[in-house]
Structure 1
Amino acid sequence: MIWMRLLKLFVATFMLEKIKNMFCLICNNNKAIKYVLNIRPNNIQEKAKYFYINNHNIVYNTSKKNAIKKKKLLFLLSKTFHCLANRRQTIPFHVLKSNNNNTPKNSLFLFDHNFSKLKLCSPNYLGATRSFNSIFLNKMEGGEDKHKSNCNNEMINEETNDTSEQNDRIQSCILKKKANFTTDFNDEKANKIQRIDPNCDEHEIKENIPNNGCNNDLKKNNIFTIEELEEMRKNSNYVKIDDTENNGFSIELYFDYKELKLLRKKDEPLSSLKNRLILNLNKLYQKQSKQLNSIKNKNANKTIDGNVKSEKEKENTTIVKFYDKENNIIDENTILKDVIDKLNYLVIDEHKISIYKNVYDLKKIYVSMDVYANHQIIPVHLPLGEMENYIYYWVDTNEKNVLNSCDIFYKPTNDDISKHIQLVIYDKKNPIFFHFTEEMEVKSNPFEEQIRIKEQRYSDFRPQSNQHDNNAKNTLRILSYNILAPIYTNTKYALEYMFKNIDPCYLKTNYRSHLLIGEISHDFDIISLQEVSEHLHTNLFYVYLYENYYSSYKPKSPSGNDGCSLFVNKKKFTLLEYENCEFNTVVRSPELKNIYDIFIKLSDDLDEIIKEIKTVYQIGIFMHNNSQNIFIIANTHLYFHSLAQHIRVMQTYCILHILEKIKDKYKEKYKNKEIYVILNGDFNANFESEVFSFMEGSDVMENSKLWENGKLFKKEYDDLDKYPTLFNIDNNSTDQKINGPYLNRKKFLPLYSAYKKVDIPYTNWNNNFIDVLDYIFLSPELKVKRLLKGVDKHLFGQYKGIVTPFNPSDHLSIAAEIEL
């Protein structure tokens, strides 16, 4: 027996000397580790040959008088590799016993040499989770290790000797080595980064969503290039399991440079999955064998007798087993949905394959907006809430080792113009899960000068106080903005009439997106947006504001083409609840029945018209973190029809009714706290309208001329240029007296407009119509400190409206800075 072992050692030594190559480790049972020869190093390993430590010994304890035999070992590395390839064609040449009875199959161990012994350290102490885990060892200098180990009692013995004291010593040893770990390899990677974002402090990477520069020292972080990530994935073995929409599982197996994709039902047994894997693997081996035979026949230029069979065909069997976290084999008769959470890894023959469940699909990430210098890029479908688990950076596609920025919302510079860039993102723990977006060209916006001129309105509206002083904590910055929904930009009426003076390419969402982001990027605490499509809310504003704002979206209809978005600063407020509602529901409520019954008598079809109106009231209730007072923050967009003042005044009555109810509810709940109201939106009414007067405190009487509109109103009449005399009350007057409901304003909470007529000349301009339609209404206790100014009309003159290549909407944003 001993002669056989010595013969194996001799053969192993001979192979090591003759074949200078990379070695991997696998376990052939729960106690024995065997070295196996890899066919070839991959590209990453080939480039890092000088890190291989090739002067170490395999130490073999014969267990007879503690005699020790030493042989050369070429496996140990001094850099980190993830998921090293585990080729099926490898041949074992030496077996050593492990001290760890619970060693999982194919688990990689760290061997440390101190010139007299070889120690075994479990990967569990390294926090390893992969089938082939990271290897840490200091680079040799002058033939000796930088740091010699003090772990002198952990030898690889043929006899089991597993004690908790021994494990404690091993763990202590590894923790010390981790603390002292340094490699020149990281220095080399850092040197490859030729240009760092100027906002980065000491070349650090910040791995979270805010718009900051890089925050972790590159020398302490292995940032993999695209080439390295692709090589890693190609040489990795793993299983990925995801839920599907059809009550099933999507299963992907990457093994031995092969890829299998399966769809399985949740209620089928595990054995069904196993049998399908075996069947498909055998098919792949048969196909591979035929291809090899074909190549050999062609190279030899002659016929070979019989087929050259693969190793797998000779064995004519594939063994597949599933294991849980305790390394127990899982019963194959178990139903998939009942066992999916227990699956930890599977073993194909003697190869351990890690299982990953419901991993975020990074392939969903893309950039839909046009990319312009000096404007931030907002990627779509980021793994929000989990960004700290990922490394991400932007590169020039022509210089993939040149780091442009490690900010997820990169703002290209003028130096980037005409270059092609892309976002790279990968999982920190499992870099085999990565994605890089399609390359995108950085353009120069030819209207940058007009954008700069328009932005001058913010010169007197920038934050003044230090955010940490008490005045700043009691100061709130509020924005209200109708952004122009995409659905209203591509109709025939829009292109031929409303926006006829602008090239249609500037109406597209992918162009307007970078301008919209610029409008909301001025340190606002409350952002109320109208005419927001669900796509823009979810894939632009929500992504950009996710980290620091509460977010709510209320669509007008299930299609999500138009709606309201509300964003509130998490640092200044705590969300209590949302109470969103619809106008056509509130107006029919029992509490308003008397008012509504009188209102619908104005015309025969008014009730049907009201049913079709999709106006929404978006309402959030928050507690102010500094004062602990309650804020009711509301956002709305009243009915657009130019001839429907009677409907809009009813809509204002309804929202005031709802706000009053919410205020009473919270007054009862928080008796000692102040209740404040902020109501923002597009009211489609000017300063002279009865809607505005009603909002600021005036009643609407029964005999108001406002109600005569209701008698004559038809939904299709929306263009006064086409119907100039339609609503001339004198021409359409009758002897019949028209009365509507009496709307008592004083029964509701008082509000006032932050803007007065002298403060801003217009917020909406479209062809022949120009006026103020947007407002911020406040409780009297909230005092206005500053207002955002308007824009000189001359800037938009040639377009005869404010939808231009440098303004993305037919409205101007309005903003107020208020103080408690």
Structure 2
Amino acid sequence: MKLFRSIYTSGLIIRNHSSIILAFKRFKSTFAYPRLTFSKPHIMNPAYFRYEDGAEKFQLAFEYNNETYNISRQFNMDRSVNETTADFKNRIKSNVVKVLEKKIHALNKKKEKEDKIKMPEIKIDILIDGQVISDASIAKEAIFDNSSLSSGENSLLIHDSKFQIIINAPWIKNLTLPSYLLQDCLVYPTKFEHQFLLEDKTIFQWFRKEDKEFVPLSQGFYYKPTKEDVGHCLKLSCTPKNDHSEGPTLEVVTEKPVDAGNQPYLFEQRHAFTKEKLTDENLRVVTYNILAEIYADTDTARNELFSYCPSYALDMEYRRPLIIREILAYHADLICLQEVDEKCFNRHLAPTLFRKGNYRANFAVKSGNAAEGLAIFYDVDKFRFIQSSRYLLGESLAQDHVYQTDLVSRIKTNERLYTRLSERNTTLQTVVLEPVNSKSKRLLYVANTHLYFIRMLTTSDSLRAHCFSPISNGTSTNSGKVNLAMK
């Protein structure tokens, strides 16, 4: 992700290429997004130096403004931890000189020979505790390893500009908003990569774009678009903070406006029966096959398995906010999910269900090279986690446990069936929970699995093994619908 101001080049014309035309419309503004704002009322010309222990490089970021030449340019540099201060200063100088030369050259085109602007001499110095550090020193050591960095004057001098050096300020490396925004469904950064910040200190401000203005909406990591937001793009402004300092603010704007969606949704009918949590020792359990993205994003899925479904509705970016909205509104005590992409679990389901529903989770990836698996969520107000296990059913068949001897012997009578089952990556996930307020002190053993539909012909008859996911009306299907067990 580029964190620099984009420049619109009007001379480039490419016909019959919609993506280029759209890109031109999006970046025509001088301040295109994502936009990084360095200016702070309480910090004079900040120069942000960042280094994480063990890294091979350190970073420098600053904004160089020169009113004489009408320059406002952001620089973001990665430098080796072994680089000398002299080489580091030369690199800074080289980057600044390039910008100045280009600007002065453009200005001189309109001037007579005797009036042409001369390139100024650019000098770079770095001061730690008010003392210029030696050119022979190692830049990283001189800047980051100085024991008295918290006091004194630490400055970066570039020509006639003075920058205040700030070490390891909170920093946003990547902030990305979802490609689909649906009314009444949570919106939040799909990617949020950062350094040195504390989320509870960081400020997230949401805006709605109306014409050319941005109207403030609310603060917080999450935002739920309303009916008034439909048809408008949203902007998220993030100011990273920790207990000691504040970093530059990053702003991002959604590429698409908020969509009203295909309301009313069918799950809203079920929500009418689950408006509140169950009390006492009553439990509500939800189990849901959410269709992993690795299976939905294929030609087979689009053209055969789900040919009746619009392509956009198979996109996990579209389905995910709806899945989260549906699951949260069941107010369940236990949630068992199947076909859960590991990335989706780590980036979306686990953090969101914890923050918005107070659920902790356990994930069990399938065997082999599968990138999806099973997830059990439990309400931490009702349960205390004891332990979890993962069983690979194919391996279990070969172990001949006493409790499954009869079953295994029957399966082995059909060699093809036994081979087929042994090769599958079917997994059983179990979690042992202790009810927090139960008087009985009994433990709850939760098992979650996703079995395959298998049909194989024997010499004498057809042997069928079915695994259906029942839905609320009592019928059955193997397409991954919702199953509710409600007290």
Q: Is the shorter-chain TM-score for this pair beyond 0.5, marking a shared fold?
A: yes
Which is richer in strand? 2
- Of 444, 449, 472 in structure 2, the residue corresponding to residue 790 of structure 1 is 472
Are positions 1:435 and 2:251 aligned together?
Answer: yes
**Alignment size in residue pairs:** 426
Give the aligned residue type for 2:337: L
Are positions 1:485 and 2:261 aligned together?
Answer: no
Which residue does 1:367 correspond to in 2? 178
5 Å-filtered alignment, 1:746-757, equals none
Which residue does 1:514 correspond to in 2? 321
SS in 2 for 1:527: strand
Which residue does 2:452 correspond to in 1? 640
Take 2:400 and 2:115, find their aligned partners in 1: how far apart are those partners?
91
Report how far residue 615 of structure 1 moved: 1.5
Are positions 1:580 and 2:390 aligned together?
Answer: yes
Take 1:339 and 1:308, find their aligned partners in 2: how far apart are those partners?
33
Which residue does 1:144 correspond to in 2? none
Report how far residue 563 of structure 1 moved: 1.0
- Of 234, 245, 253 in structure 1, the residue corresponding to residue 61 of structure 2 is 253
Are positions 1:458 and 2:264 aligned together?
Answer: no
Which residue does 1:811 correspond to in 2? 480
5 Å-filtered alignment, 1:307-346, equals 308-310=118-120, 312=122, 317-322=123-128, 344=149, 346=154
Take 1:612 and 1:631, find their aligned partners in 2: how far apart are those partners?
33
- Of 369, 381, 384 in structure 2, the residue corresponding to residue 571 of structure 1 is 381
CA offset digits 1:18-71 (Å, max 9, x no partner): xxxxxxxxxxxxxxxxxxxxxxxxxxxxxxxxxxxxxxxxxxxxxxxxxxxxxx
Conserved 8 A contact 2:174-2:193 = no
SS in 2 for 1:254: strand
Take 1:290 and 1:328, find their aligned partners in 2: how far apart are those partners?
27
CA offset digits 1:134-183 (Å, max 9, x no partner): xxxxxxxxxxxxxxxxxxxxxxxxxxxxxxxxxxxxxxxxxxxxxxxxxx
SS in 2 for 1:379: coil
Take 1:603 and 1:811, find their aligned partners in 2: how far apart are those partners?
29
Are positions 1:626 and 2:437 aligned together?
Answer: yes
Are positions 1:275 and 2:90 aligned together?
Answer: no
Summarize the Cα distance change of 1:374–1:263 in structure 2 as closer, same or farther, 3 Å threshold: closer
Which residue does 2:227 correspond to in 1? 414
Take 2:141 and 2:446, find their aligned partners in 1: how far apart are those partners?
44
CA offset digits 1:179-205 (Å, max 9, x no partner): xxxxxxxxxxxxxxxxxxxxxxxxxxx
Take 2:322 and 2:459, find their aligned partners in 1: how far apart are those partners?
41
Take 1:485 and 1:291, find their aligned partners in 2: how far apart are those partners?
51
Q: Which entry has the higher C-alpha Rg, 1 or 2?
A: 1
Summarize the Cα distance change of 1:637–1:419 in structure 2 as closer, same or farther, 3 Å threshold: same
Which residue does 1:476 correspond to in 2? 283
Give the aligned residue type for 2:343: H
Report how far residue 546 of structure 1 moved: 2.9
Report how far residue 353 of structure 1 moved: 0.8
5 Å-filtered alignment, 1:134-213, equals none
Take 1:413 and 1:290, find their aligned partners in 2: how far apart are those partners?
50
Conserved 8 A contact 1:376-1:411 = yes
Which residue does 2:155 correspond to in 1? 347
Take 2:412 and 2:379, find their aligned partners in 1: how far apart are those partners?
44
Report how far residue 524 of structure 1 moved: 1.6
Give the aligned residue type for 2:484: A
Take 1:731 and 1:365, find their aligned partners in 2: how far apart are those partners?
52
Conserved 8 A contact 1:362-1:435 = no
Which residue does 1:425 correspond to in 2? 238
Take 1:434 and 1:251, find their aligned partners in 2: how far apart are those partners?
17
Give the aligned residue type for 2:204: Y
Report how far residue 731 of structure 1 moved: 8.6
Summarize the Cα distance change of 1:250–1:609 in structure 2 as closer, same or farther, 3 Å threshold: farther
Report how far residue 640 of structure 1 moved: 0.7
SS in 1 for 2:269: helix
Which is richer in helix? 1
Which residue does 1:617 correspond to in 2? 428
Summarize the Cα distance change of 1:536–1:351 in structure 2 as closer, same or farther, 3 Å threshold: closer
Summarize the Cα distance change of 1:290–1:435 in structure 2 as closer, same or farther, 3 Å threshold: closer
Summarize the Cα distance change of 1:423–1:304 in structure 2 as closer, same or farther, 3 Å threshold: closer
Are positions 1:448 and 2:255 aligned together?
Answer: no
Conserved 8 A contact 1:622-1:630 = no
Conserved 8 A contact 2:209-2:235 = yes
Which residue does 2:468 correspond to in 1? 773
- Of 232, 245, 252 in structure 1, the residue corresponding to residue 39 of structure 2 is 232
Take 2:198 and 2:274, find their aligned partners in 1: how far apart are those partners?
34
Give the aligned residue type for 1:479: V
SS in 2 for 1:510: helix
Take 2:100 and 2:258, find their aligned partners in 1: how far apart are those partners?
48
SS in 1 for 2:60: strand
Report how far residue 614 of structure 1 moved: 1.0
Take 1:411 and 1:249, find their aligned partners in 2: how far apart are those partners?
39
Give the aligned residue type for 1:432: P
Conserved 8 A contact 1:375-1:411 = yes
Give the aligned residue type for 1:318: I
Report how far residue 564 of structure 1 moved: 0.8
Report how far residue 443 of structure 1 moved: 1.5
Conserved 8 A contact 1:363-1:435 = no
Are positions 1:390 and 2:202 aligned together?
Answer: yes
Which residue does 2:331 correspond to in 1? 523
Take 1:275 and 1:371, find their aligned partners in 2: how far apart are those partners?
49
Take 2:321 and 2:96, find their aligned partners in 1: how far apart are those partners?
51
Summarize the Cα distance change of 1:462–1:727 in structure 2 as closer, same or farther, 3 Å threshold: farther
Which residue does 1:532 correspond to in 2? 340
Summarize the Cα distance change of 1:574–1:275 in structure 2 as closer, same or farther, 3 Å threshold: farther
Which residue does 2:112 correspond to in 1? 301
% identical aligned pairs: 18
Take 2:451 and 2:375, find their aligned partners in 1: how far apart are those partners?
17
Q: Which has the higher contact order (CA 8 A, sep 6+)?
A: 2
Give the aligned residue type for 1:279: N
Give the aligned residue type for 1:774: S
Report how far residue 351 of structure 1 moved: 4.6
Give the aligned residue type for 2:468: L
CA RMSD between the two structures = 4.4
Take 1:304 and 1:427, find their aligned partners in 2: how far apart are those partners?
46
Report how far residue 568 of structure 1 moved: 1.5
Report how far residue 396 of structure 1 moved: 1.4
Q: Which runs of 5+ in 2 are unaligned?
A: 1-32, 66-72
Take 2:96 and 2:186, find their aligned partners in 1: how far apart are those partners?
49
Which residue does 1:541 correspond to in 2? 349
Summarize the Cα distance change of 1:280–1:523 in structure 2 as closer, same or farther, 3 Å threshold: same
Report how far residue 494 of structure 1 moved: 3.6
SS in 2 for 1:531: strand
Report how far residue 360 of structure 1 moved: 4.9
SS in 1 for 2:386: strand
SS in 2 for 1:388: coil
SS in 2 for 1:619: strand
Give the aligned residue type for 1:616: T
Q: Which runs of 5+ in 1 are unaligned?
A: 1-225, 466-471, 644-712, 714-725, 733-770, 776-788, 794-800, 803-808
SS in 1 for 2:454: coil
Take 2:97 and 2:334, find their aligned partners in 1: how far apart are those partners?
64
SS in 1 for 2:114: coil
SS in 2 for 1:512: helix
SS in 1 for 2:283: strand
Report how far residue 486 of structure 1 moved: 2.6
Give the aligned residue type for 2:215: V
Report how far residue 530 of structure 1 moved: 0.4
Conserved 8 A contact 1:617-1:634 = no
